[in-house]
Each structure stands twice: as C-alpha cells, then as structure tokens.
Structure 1
Amino acid sequence: MNKTLTSGNPVFTGWYADPEARIFEGQYWIYPTYSAKYEEQLFFDAFYSDDLVNWTKAERILDSKDFEWAHKAVWAPSPIEINGKYYIYFSANDIQSNEEFGGIGVGVSDRPEGPFRDAIGRPLIDQFHFGAQPIDPHVYQDEDGQVYLYYGGWGHCNVVRLGEDMISLLPFEDGSIYREITPKGYVEGPCMIKRNGQYVFMWAEGGWGGPDYRVAYALADSPIGPFERIDTILQQDPEVATGAGHHGYLQIPGTDEYYIVYHRRPLSETAANHRVVCIDSLEFNEDNTIRPVKISFEGVRARTL
C-alpha cells in the first residue's frame, strides 16, 4: 500500500502507452497499450484504483488469441459501459493498405476487467477512409445518448456513429458512414470532452517515438466539428520527461475536476517503446480553453470517488 499523499509519476510500473481512462463501478480505471515490439503487443492489461494513488493490475483483460484476426500491434484500447455490458475498441495489425487484414476491433465483456471476447469475429473498421489508418479509436457518448468513435492515424482523423448494438456503424443524416474531421497538426490519438456545452477535441502531434510528441486541442459546437487548432496543452519538459502525448482523461462526477492520463518517456530512456503512464491535473479556463499541463514527478493527490 502506498502511504504517500500523491500518486507519483509514473503511476504504475512497466512500459505502457496510449492510456484511456474511465470510471467504472465506482473505481478509476486505466486501459493502456502494452509498449513493446509490435509482434509482442498481443494483449491488454488494465489498472484500477479507489484513490488515484494505489493501483492494482488486472492482467490480460483482452488477449489476441480470442480475436483470430489480430496477430500483432494490439493498440490503444478504449472501453465504454452501455446497458450493463462493457465494450472495448482497439486497433490491431498496423495495416499499411486496404489489401492487408486488420484495423479496429470490438470486444465485449460483462466486467470492466474482462475477459473481453470478439464481439463480431472481424474488424469493425478494416479499410482506409479519407487517408486515415484505422488505429487509435476513442469512444465517446454524447449527452443525447449517441455514441461516437473517433479514430485515425497517418495525419487523418475520422468519426463514425455507433449503432445501439455498439457493433454496427450508423449513417449520418446525409447517408455517409465516415466523416473526416482532421484538424491542423493532427497525427493520431483523438480524445473528446464535452464541457459547458462545448466539445473539447484533443489529439496527438509529432512522432510517437521521439521527444516532441505532444497534445493539442480545439473547441467546437458540434461533435463533428469543424475543429480549428487552438494550442498545445501537453508536451515534454526537459526537467521531467520527453514524448508526452496520447492521452485520456478522468472527470470527477458532478464536478469540474479533471485529470489527464498520458504516456511519456523518462529522461533516462531513448528506446521508442520505453513509455510510462502518468497522471496530472487538467485545468480549464472559464471559456473552455485549456491551461498548459505541468507534467510532474509528484502526480496527483489522493482523491476518492
């Protein structure tokens, strides 16, 4: 048991990246990519906590052996709870063209710790649309109940609407399935918050293996934009760490208290996959603009739900 007052950064040991963060069943959860060679990225672990300080690992909540089509580069899990079921969206196989098989899959479970099983027996999105590599899904439910899936690499971001069954794609009003929403500077790793009636859209920029990886954001009045880049909010600090990017967030229910959950590379490391998961405060101004995040070694104070 960690008796200290803060989480410390990283918040748990091991090489992990691309964290998505959620509150499920009264606990904090973090779902990251296992950061290793692509051929070794065959599963997901998750971590849960009652207070943001003490974290417990739930091992192999999803294993590629349960998804016959997924054989490497299992990345960027994004879970959601709908009608008592847990759905998790992730990318696999790092496909480089429409001729290769892979893309974004969906798993389902009765519990936040899995095990997640293949919900459809194939990828949900398996083609390049508008130039977007089918990776890095981020699932978001709007206040009206509609669920959106943001995704995309190679400098292009798309959004789709999920059907009520969570395993099908629902057309937009104009009949289209895929909508490109790429803001200037976008590389990968989309993330959405709705605050005070506005949509706060965030994404990763730069190269994931280098020191300049970072997060920028935009504001819009619609979940499909348009999104005009405003500023960088998360980046390296030469005193703390490099390569800070690809994040999720936590909001304390009923409050305006937010935390950013992200990965970064310790100053002692240069290997691309040597990434760790950290938490710091995410603070907004009254007009929904975001204050630059100060990355820290201390992390955040204990906070129970």
Structure 2
Amino acid sequence: MIKTFFTTTSLFLATTLIAQKNPVLNGNYADPEGIIYNDKYWIFPTYSAPYEEQLFFDAFSSSDLAHWEKHPRVLQNTQVKWAEKAMWAPAVLENNGKYYLFFSANDVHEGEIGGIGVAVADKPEGPYTDLLGKPLINDIINGAQPIDQFVFKDKDGTFYMYYGGWKHCNMVKLKPDFTGLLPFDDGTYYKEITPKDYVEGPFMFIKEGKYYFMWSEGGWTGPDYKVAYAIADSPFGPFERIGTILERDPEVAVGAGHHSVIKVPNKDKYFIVYHRRPLGKEGANERVTCIDEMKFDKKGRIQPVKMTFKGVKYPLK
C-alpha cells in the first residue's frame, strides 16, 4: 500500500490558497521519496553531487506543500562505517513506532562491499543509525546491481522490497524487523520481475485492488530519463509495460524520473514526486525535486503527467 495513510485532520485546516512552486526544494536534490508522517508531508531525497561528496541525506517536511523545513544530515556515512561514497535513493517507512531509511551506497560492483543498507530512528527527522552494520543486500543477483530499493507493505502486512539497477529488477521478502530476508513459498529468496525497458528506480502502490508498478527508463545523466508503469493483480506481477507517464518537456525540463507517489489521505488525489533537469542545465548532478499531480482515466490507467512550474495548490480540493 502507499505509505501515506493517517487519520488526523490538522494537515488540511488551512483556509487560504497557497501556491507551491517547482522545484519545491532549494538546491540539487534527486530520487525523492515522498511520504506522510505525523500530519506532515515529507521528502527524503538524494543529495545530488559527485559520488565522493554524496555522503549524507537531508530530509524536508511541510504542512502545505509550499513551505519546506530542512532537516539536515538525518543520516551520513559517519553512521554507516561501510559506506565510503555515493549514498543515494532513500526509501522510507514507519513500522511499530520506528522510522526506517533504506539507502544505496558505494555504487557496488562484483566483489566490492556496498549495496543496500537500512538505518533506523525514533523520529522521522532522525538521527538515523545503521541497523545492521553491513549491507542488507551486497551481492549482484540476476544481474541487478543492488541499488534503488523501494519497500512496500502489502495488504496482508508482508513487506517486500523491489530493487535493482543495470536493467534488472528483483523482489525480496523482508523480515518484519528489516534485519534480513525471508524465503518465498518456493524456498527462493530473490525473484526477478523485470518489465520491458526497465532500467532502475522501482515504485509500487495499490489502487482499487490493483498493483501499480512503476520504474525509470533511460540514463539518469541524460535528457531522456522517464517513468513508465504496469498494472498487475499481484505484487509478483507479471508486469506488462503499459506506457510512459513522465518524460521530458522542451518547454519545462528534461531528464524527468526516479519518482515516488503520495496519495492524499481521504481523497482520490495523487501526487508524483520526482526529479528533473532544468532547461539549460547539462551537468549530471544538476537535478531538482518537483511535485505535480498524477491523474487516472476511467479505466484506472495513469494519464501522462504534465510537468509544471506552478506545482499544486493548497488546500487540496
């Protein structure tokens, strides 16, 4: 399920219309994971910089989608002894009163130490500490570089993680305390579920009983980065590619991808939180975080997202 449901009303008490503008965060941030914690919207992004400088995570919170409070360095490599460079792609969720931040580190290759780690905190803003003292997944299985993880809680309470770069995507079943993996019913630990044209950046949510699986295609350093999706009846797929829903717009930005989705509580309203490269910017790390509305047609298919500079308005209608 999308990790955004709660019962409070305080998030929606504003009476004046507030305009959010894209990008929503100051500075270069990418791979944003959006979520709702404790009556607030949160974004946990990658600090977009050269690998040797990309050694920490900042978080941002907001009550109105327009004014964002920065929570600096909620996790940094001084708390993760095995992470020497390139910490990126946070995936976050709350479970049993604890807050978890999964991350990629070291741009690992065969025979190297790195991959997917997990950190834990008592508050959304941290500080987070390394849960395991080692990677949760280090090895390259089914050709998938262990990066770009997304943790998904299914309807029955089971936690799955989808991950993978190098055009391969695996899913695994997580222990409820996130200290390791559990076997699937057939005794295996890794299942490859790679859809057509998949590159990286998986994301999953449920809408009206259907499993929407999304991913990024193309190269993250180039202008043609984009997001596609599939719909299935099971978290295991099969995930047959339906189409592209987010891509370059010559009037707005290029390199749009590596996203997450937020569902507004008690409303049939969805936002896509993503990064893009502003026009005129060509540096690999010149990426900014934006939010736009994501809509569906009558058949439940995702309509192409129109990237904007104005973003969304608050209160939400």
TM band (smaller chain): over 0.9
Within 2, Cα distance between the matches of 1:96 and 1:164? 28
Aligned to 1:156: 168
Secondary structure at 1:229's aligned position in 2? coil
Deviation digits for residues 160-216 of structure 1, max 9, x if unmatched?
111111221111100111110000000000001100000000000000000000000
Within 2, Cα distance between the matches of 1:256 and 1:142? 20
Within 2, Cα distance between the matches of 1:172 and 1:256? 33
- What does 1:1-305 correspond to in 2, within 5 Å? 5-97=18-110, 99-303=111-315
Deviation (angstroms), 1:51 = 1.1
Does the CA contact (< 8 Å) of 2:18 and 2:64 recur in 1? no
Secondary structure at 1:268's aligned position in 2? coil
Within 1, Cα distance between the matches of 2:36 and 2:178? 19
Deviation (angstroms), 1:287 = 2.3
Within 1, Cα distance between the matches of 2:88 and 2:227? 18
Q: Unaligned 5+ residue runs, structure 2?
A: 1-15
TM-score (norm 1): 0.97
Say which is worse superposed, 285-294 or 75-84, in terms of deviation.
285-294
Within 1, Cα distance between the matches of 2:270 and 2:220? 24
User: What is the Cα-based RMSD across aligned positions, in Å?
Assistant: 1.2
Aligned length: 302
Q: 1:65 to 1:169 in 2, by over 3 A?
A: same
Q: Which amino acid aligns with 2:133?
A: G
Deviation digits for residues 94-132 of structure 1, max 9, x if unmatched?
0121x0000000000000011110101100000001000
Deviation digits for residues 110-155 of structure 1, max 9, x if unmatched?
0001111010110000000100000001111112111111100000
Deviation (angstroms), 1:284 = 1.2
Within 1, Cα distance between the matches of 2:169 and 2:239? 11
Identity %: 58
Within 1, Cα distance between the matches of 2:281 and 2:183? 45
Does the CA contact (< 8 Å) of 1:19 and 1:76 recur in 2? yes
Within 1, Cα distance between the matches of 2:37 and 2:316? 13
Q: 1:304 to 1:255 in 2, by over 3 A?
A: closer
Q: Which amino acid aligns with 2:217?
A: E
Q: Which amino acid aligns with 2:301?
A: T
Deviation (angstroms), 1:4 = 7.4
Deviation digits for residues 260-301 of structure 1, max 9, x if unmatched?
000000002110100000000011123221000000000111
Secondary structure at 1:65's aligned position in 2? helix
Secondary structure at 2:78's aligned position in 1? helix
Within 2, Cα distance between the matches of 1:65 and 1:304? 40
Say which is worse superposed, 278-287 or 185-194, in terms of deviation.
278-287
Within 1, Cα distance between the matches of 2:160 and 2:268? 23
Does the CA contact (< 8 Å) of 2:17 and 2:315 recur in 1? no
Within 2, Cα distance between the matches of 1:303 and 1:102? 42
Deviation digits for residues 14-35 of structure 1, max 9, x if unmatched?
0000000000111000000000
Runs of 4+ in 1 over 6 A off after TM superposition: none
Does the CA contact (< 8 Å) of 1:34 and 1:41 recur in 2? yes
Within 2, Cα distance between the matches of 1:84 and 1:115? 15
Does the CA contact (< 8 Å) of 1:52 and 1:304 recur in 2? no
Deviation digits for residues 38-82 of structure 1, max 9, x if unmatched?
010100001100011111110000011101000101010001100
TM-score (norm 2): 0.93
Within 2, Cα distance between the matches of 1:219 and 1:16? 29
Does the CA contact (< 8 Å) of 1:202 and 1:217 recur in 2? yes
Within 1, Cα distance between the matches of 2:299 and 2:158? 25
